[in-house]
Amino acid sequence: MKVVKDAREALQGLESGMSVMSGGFGLCGNPEQCIKTLAESGIKDLTIISNNCGNQGRGLAALLQNRQVSKVICSFIGGNPDLATQYLAGEVQVELNPQGTLAERIRAGGAGLGGFFTPTGVGTAVADGKELREIDGRLYLFEKLLKADFALVRAAVGDKLGNLRFYRTSRNFNPLMAMAARVTVAEVDTLVEVGELDPDDIHLPGLFVDRIFEASHENPIEHRTVRTREAR
């Protein structure tokens, strides 16, 4: 059975030193229940693969605050003071990727590809130490695949076979990561019976989901104030 009781049961087997992919973009589409449980677990020395590893002190930032992370593979640090501070102090290793490159490295891992050639990053620090090849008169650099021990994803609706439907932009990195991990855990807003999801409305087949559970509706929203509002 893929259905489990809660995040604690879903994360069985996740140990210190493992690599974890976590869906989300900013605070959109984050597997909040899995992150909270992982933060309470005491597991350390994690390699986190995510777009930004938390934002405004929320989401995956909880793991940074607990000093549970040794390396982050991401595309964005802005808006994440916890990661910026630990990176500048040499406490966490950070591997920055152009955002499209990060997504494609994850997709390559799920598709069984060793990597791909891209012109993005040629002539910059991104290309340091990587293979360069000229193709049709243009330089490309080789980017390796990304895979992980666990992928933690959040969906709007899932059925008991693990078929998932995401809510709009919360899809972001979630389907790609689900395909690129040894064990994929899905937390969903609503868990339904098999057959309740229209086959044409499924964004990720259950083939890629190992464990699924219904989570509480925790959905933090980012706020940015650019000027003081005038009193009315």
Mean pLDDT, residues 11-26 taken together: 96
Q: Give pLDDT tens digits for 190-222.
A: 999 999 999 999 999 999 999 999 997 666 666
Residue 229 lies in a domain: no
Which CATH number characterizes residue 82's domain?
Answer: 3.40.1080.10
C-alpha 172/C-alpha 191 separation (Å) is 20
Q: Give pLDDT tens digits for 163-181.
A: 999 999 999 999 999 999 9
Residue 133 lies in a domain: yes
Residue 109 lies in a domain: yes
Residue 162 lies in a domain: yes
Residue 181 lies in a domain: yes
- The percent of residues in the chain predicted with pLDDT above 70, rounded, is 94
Residue 160 lies in a domain: yes
Kindly give the residue spans of alpha helices, DSSP state H, lying in the chain.
Answer: 7-10, 32-41, 61-65, 81-88, 99-111, 174-179
Residue 58 lies in a domain: yes
Residue 119 belongs to what domain range? 7-214
Asked if 161 and 205 count as a contact pair (C-beta separation under 8 A), the reply is no
Amino acid at 131: E
The number of domains in the chain is: 1
CA distance to 54, 61, 114, 171, 195, per residue, from 35 (Å): 10, 9, 29, 17, 29
Structure confidence at residue 150 (pLDDT): 98
- Terminal-residue alpha carbon distance, the chain: 57
CA dihedral of residues 217, 218, 219, 224 (deg, nearest 10): 150
Residue 119 lies in a domain: yes
pTM for this structure? 0.91
CA dihedral of residues 156, 78, 101, 179 (deg, nearest 10): -30
